[in-house]
Amino acid sequence: MQDLFEKDPARAQRMSFDWQDFYLDYSKNRISEETLDLLFQLAAEVKLKEAISAQFSEEKINETEGRVVGHTALRNFDSMKVEVAESLQKIKEFTRSVTTGAWKGYSGKSVTTVVNIGIGGSDLGPDMVCEALRYYRNELDVRFVSNVDGDHVMETLKGLDRETTLFIIVSKTFTTQETLTNAQTIRKWFLKDASETDIEKHFVAVSTNLDAVADFGIASQNVFPMWDWVGGRFSLWSSVGLSIACAVGYENFEELLKGAHEMDTHFVSSEFEQNIPVILALLSVWYNNFFKAESECVVPYSQYLNKLVAYLQQGVMESNGKSTDRNGDPIDYQTGTIIWGSTGTNAQHAFFQLLHQGTKLIPTDFIAFTRSLHGNQDHQNKLLANCVAQTEALLQGTYGEEVENNFKLFKGNQPTNTILIKKLTPNTLGGLIALYEHKLFVQGVVWNIFSYDQWGVELGKKLAKGTLQNIENDVESNGMNTSSGELIKKIKKSW
């Protein structure tokens, strides 16, 4: 890459472009113009344009589950489905009643704390967004319970007032083991000082299982819809984002959706040569399949985005961790990449040593905002200086310099993309999340896999039910691997 920059002074200008408040610089990659031409030819060969059209025209591209992939319709205010508009109106009215104090608990007090109970897509997205938009949050204390770890639940409940706490249970089927276990534990905690009839004033649900919700004690008017054409890991734009709307207000929630829709429009309408998700996806394929790079690092230079990587891990690895192609045949090439990372500058003092002098090729996305929210320019200048300097160091290393020993040798030539965004707002955050959604979709098209099913999640769930019976009851672990059987014996002895 050092040679490419020396030979072509205009490389940085040609391999970068603006779109609204976003600027992408992908010049620090191991690519030439020929590489790009061939990657765009690959996109044409796999009929990427047609695949994009199929998704946005609501064809059943999730073929193994026979479903439409329609999460982009949740944020399309230009042509919104009636049921989506009605759901947003219900979110708006509910949110305003809570944030204005009109919603009263069983003792007549207003809500001060909202607790979201969910897991996976019903937790990671809302939790990440609430943290990312902390600057815009109102006075409500919004918390999240996900792990079935009882200590996690009790720590979350610690110090809460039953009279002023509202719980949102998010479960499409209302049968997810972790979510329902946590919900029942919290229900028992609530009923220590309240009555069954008080539940409808303190619990709401996002679900399709109306009977189970009613049995729990939640009033029908306090149930928000979910649809089978929205996958869990893409559901924060739906009623699953109710906790987001509570935390930052409905207007900011709507701006989040609009920002995502603007990225949708960019993805659908822009030529591939000026298309941020397409370029990032093709570069990912380039390193994954031609350089055998197994992972990608994501480093946001904003502490607000400290939960973004965990969110992207689910989105990317649950979507593209597949070893069977669309014809049902085994795959003999690499598919899904491993996503990892952390926030800068913290990451620089942790794993950046591996990026600079390790033996692995790890392409890295740097994400930064040119303007701070609190206006401390000294901090922001230093933050951005570190961001740019790290991409420069990864590119250049000690190339062309004399070093006193090999311990201080940096080969450089480490690829990076830099995504500069003017300011972290609900709108730009929505665009950033949608960018990575579309990136993983493009990867799936190129790899000829179904990105929107998740059969790999189910096997462990099924086995856990039988394992639980073995742990809770004095029975032999018949049919179970001897290692697992011995582990269960150890667990029982610890009692």
For residue 442, the one-letter residue type is V
The answer to whether residues 106 and 51 belong to one domain is: no
Residue-wise burial string across 450-482, b where 16 or more C-beta atoms lie within 10 A, e elsewhere: bbbbbeeeeeeeeeeeebeebeeeeeebeebee
Residues labelled as active-site residues: 318, 349, 461
The answer to whether residues 211 and 239 belong to one domain is: yes
pLDDT given at position 143: 98
**413/1 Cα distance (integer angstroms):** 6
The answer as to whether 261 is a domain residue is no
Contact call for residues 427 and 259 (beta carbons, < 8 A) = yes
Full residue range of the structural domain in which residue 428 is found: 2-60+270-453
The answer as to whether 265 is a domain residue is no
Prediction pTM value: 0.96
pLDDT given at position 50: 98
The answer to whether residues 249 and 115 belong to one domain is: yes
The answer to whether residues 52 and 80 belong to one domain is: no
State both tokens at 373.
């929210």
Cis link prior to 345 (omega < 30° from 0)?
yes
**221/11 Cα distance (integer angstroms):** 58
The answer to whether residues 166 and 301 belong to one domain is: no
Q: Which of 314, 327, 323, 443 is nearest to 64 (CA)?
A: 327
The answer to whether residues 330 and 388 belong to one domain is: yes
The answer to whether residues 108 and 161 belong to one domain is: yes
User: Which residues of the chain, if any, have pLDDT below 50?
Assistant: none
Secondary element (H or E) of residue 115: strand 113-117
Could you read off the pLDDT of 427-483 as tens digits, one per residue?
A: 999 999 999 999 999 999 999 999 999 888 878 888 888 888 888 887 666 678 889
Q: Which of 218, 263, 228 is nearest to 72 (CA)?
A: 263
User: Helix, strand or coil for residue 308?
Assistant: helix
The answer as to whether 93 is a domain residue is yes
Domain total in the chain: 3
Q: What residue has token string 């939960």?
A: 307
The enclosing domain of 152 has a CATH number of: 3.40.50.10490
The answer to whether residues 39 and 133 belong to one domain is: no
State residue 359 phi and psi, 5-degree precision: -95, -5
pLDDT given at position 393: 98
pLDDT given at position 495: 61
Contacts of 116 (CB under 8 A, 6+ apart): 122, 123, 126, 127, 142, 143, 144, 145, 168, 170, 242, 243
The answer to whether residues 47 and 75 belong to one domain is: no
Which of residues 225, 254, 283 is at a domain's end? Answer: 254
Contact call for residues 371 and 380 (beta carbons, < 8 A) = yes
Length of the chain equals 495
pLDDT given at position 362: 98
The answer as to whether 262 is a domain residue is no
